[in-house]
Amino acid sequence: MACEERVTFCGGTQMTRPQDADPATPVHCRACQVRHGGLCEVLDPSELVRLAGQARRTRHGPGETLAIESGEVGYANVTRGAIKLSRVLRDGRQQVVGLQFAPDLMGRLFSSESPLSAEAATEVELCRIPRSVLEGLVADSERIKLRLLAQSLRDLDAARDWMVTLGRKTAAERVASLLLLVATRTGVADGAGQLALELPISRADMADFLGLTLETVSRQISRLRHDGVIAVRGHRSVVILSLPALEARAG
Amino acid sequence: MACEERVTFCGGTQMTRPQDADPATPVHCRACQVRHGGLCEVLDPSELVRLAGQARRTRHGPGETLAIESGEVGYANVTRGAIKLSRVLRDGRQQVVGLQFAPDLMGRLFSSESPLSAEAATEVELCRIPRSVLEGLVADSERIKLRLLAQSLRDLDAARDWMVTLGRKTAAERVASLLLLVATRTGVADGAGQLALELPISRADMADFLGLTLETVSRQISRLRHDGVIAVRGHRSVVILSLPALEARAG
DNA sequence: CGCAGGTTTGAATGTCGTCAAACCAAGTGG
DNA sequence: CCACTTGGTTTGACGACATTCAAACCTGCG
């Protein structure tokens, strides 16, 4: 799966995709280790020109809050790293409602009814598109509307999938499900055909995503390690030793 | 809040909304006990004519499976009753991922990645729109695209809200949250200014929506009754005696 | 080296699930 | 009209799994 053809740009950075791929689907290029499929890829040259001067690339460190929902920014394309979307109860209990990886498109035209907070989980690069610019593009471009619709439907499916995890799975299954989710989005096959991944979030955030406590998350990870399903280096680096075993434990 | 102006039709049934209301927002008319805001309301006369011959109104009894995701039907407007969307794990564990009330718009153009099953919870009336017809309308109409986008964003917000309930609330809070949800969508104020509602689903389905067992749901309802927060007639009919108390218990 | 933050592990507690029985409401047939 | 049935609901006793509280332990970094 070489990285070639249909070269497009997002905020000045070159992005590519295989010629025969469906433009709506993100493509992971193993050669260059980048996933493609951002908003920029559905723009035609004239639209890209319009966007080029307006879109700004920004970088953010772990823990930094991103004011996506404020007036400042309309949408943002995640081009590197992972972002944590969460919602808090008045008494401080927190639930992470989504993780966004490259090349997800974040934010929305009409602000959310239930405000989310977005925070950089890792070192993050965004391609920010001011609300006014995007609204102009949306008015003109058919494909952008469909891209926005497709992204929100993808997010909806992901949210509903996770509802099953939160409502009906055991702690062990939830942790396995999270590892699989991260592996699917960011995992890379190493030499031995095993999947390696970097956890983008702390044990505490994992707990807030899984509806558990951080102690329970830690115990389940230890158990997977002791059972030989995964190997862990440091606290963030995981290698999936047996994908079938992990899938079996994910429910 | 009288029921007047902007009379439109959905599959032959008259629907109305107040003149000054935002067309994108559902409107509950206390006078006629119907919520307005379905797809038909964003159509202009010529589009309605196109739709009139194609859309079919159908009725379904409780428990009936609706083949929304199959090729048969593209979208459907719920015009009466409630529909239960659920997802099941291989071993049979079930999670209800959403309830759709009138005037929600169901289904989608591009089929869901994670297939849902839709089932009539109560006696239900649908206004079904064949996929081909809707695709034609979507190609032409700006407002329909925005309506589809708005509905999917509403569903996304609802799903994420519920993720907080599933991940971070206690059994008592979950049950209170469900009562408030149903009251918000279908509740009617009785004489004494109290909210009355009919539960559209059984204790078992409530449990599957809340990520609990039906016994736990039953216990929590009994507790709310004993504490004077709600009154129950039969098993399905609930009166909220103290809305503030219920809200306080919803977390 | 030593500190700080995050993580792992342990023991005790509690909430919710499981299993089981009683109960209720609505409908059927004698 | 009343037993009887049926499906759903309520209540109880018990147990398991996840949480809580607490201490020890890594890992990265100054």
> What would the two tokens of residue B145 be?
């695209």
- Residue among A161, A233, A148 nearest A196 (CA): A233
* Cβ separation B168–A210 shorter than 8 A: no
Q: What's the confidence (pLDDT) of residue B66?
A: 85
* Cβ separation B160–A97 shorter than 8 A: yes
Distances (CA, A) of B130 to B108, B120, B240: 11, 19, 40
CA–CA distance, B235 with B202 (Å, rounded to integer):
9
* Cβ separation A160–B98 shorter than 8 A: yes
CA–CA distance, B41 with B8 (Å, rounded to integer):
6
Name residues 184-223 of chain A with a Cβ under 7 Å from nucleic strand C: 202-204, 214-215, 217-219, 221-222
Which residue is it, tokens 């790293």?
Answer: A81
Which residue is it, tokens 């809707």?
Answer: B134
CA nearest to A167 within chain B: B211
Chain B partners within 8 Å of A145 (Cβ)? 145, 149
Mean pLDDT is highest, among A62-76, A88-102, B43-57, for A88-102
Chain A partners within 8 Å of B93 (Cβ)? 168-169, 251
CA–CA distance, A109 with A119 (Å, rounded to integer):
19
Q: What angle do CA B97, B115, B177 make, to 5 degrees?
A: 0
pTM of the model as a whole: 0.88
Q: From the alpha carbon of A211, which nucleotide's C1' atom is closest?
A: D18
Contacts of A34 by beta carbon, 8 Å cutoff, 6+ apart: A15, A28, A102
- Band (pLDDT 50/70/90 cuts) for residue B34 is very low
Distances (CA, A) of B96 to A180, A214, B203: 23, 27, 12
Lowest mean pLDDT among A2-6, A17-21, A56-60, A133-137: A2-6
DSSP conformation letters of B116-137: -EEEESSSEEEEEE-HHHHHHH
Q: What's the confidence (pLDDT) of residue A30?
A: 37
Bridge partners, B120 (sequence order): B83
- Residue among B118, B88, B89, B90 nearest B104 (CA): B118
* Cβ separation B152–A157 shorter than 8 A: no
**Partner B contacted by A154 (CB < 8 A):** yes
- Band (pLDDT 50/70/90 cuts) for residue A23 is very low
Name residues 143-182 of chain B with a Cβ under 7 Å from nucleic strand C: 170-172
Lowest mean pLDDT among A28-32, B1-5, B106-110, B133-137: B1-5
Q: What's the confidence (pLDDT) of residue B218?
A: 98
Which residue is it, tokens 């319009």?
Answer: A50
**Partner B contacted by A227 (CB < 8 A):** no
Mean pLDDT is highest, among A16-25, A168-177, B65-74, for A168-177
Give the distance from residue B168's alpha carbon to the nearest chain A alpha carbon, in angstroms. 6
**Partner B contacted by A110 (CB < 8 A):** yes
Total Cβ atoms within 10 A of residue B222: 11
User: Tens of pLDDT along A189-216?
Assistant: 887 889 999 999 999 999 999 999 999 9
* Cβ separation B113–A154 shorter than 8 A: yes
CA–CA distance, A8 with A46 (Å, rounded to integer):
12
Q: Which of B116, B157, B164 sits opposite A113 (nearest CB)?
A: B157
Which residue is it, tokens 């979307």?
Answer: A85
| B140 in Cβ contact with B147 (< 8 Å) | no
More confidently predicted of A245 and B112:
A245
For A235, counting Cβ atoms within 10 Å of its Cβ (0-12 exposed, 13-18 middle, 19+ buried), the class is exposed
pLDDT at B140 over 90: no
Distances (CA, A) of B201 to A212, A244, B83, B156: 28, 37, 9, 22
- Band (pLDDT 50/70/90 cuts) for residue B3 is very low
Chain B partners within 8 Å of A210 (Cβ)? 167
Which residues of the protein are close to the nucleic strand D, CB under 7 angstroms?
A 170-172, 211-213, 215-216, 219, 234-235; B 202-204, 214-215, 217-219, 221-222, 232, 235-236
CA–CA distance, A34 with A11 (Å, rounded to integer):
16
More confidently predicted of A17 and B88:
B88
| A234 in Cβ contact with A196 (< 8 Å) | no
- Residue among A184, A65, A89, A59 nearest B163 (CA): A89
* Cβ separation A153–B154 shorter than 8 A: no
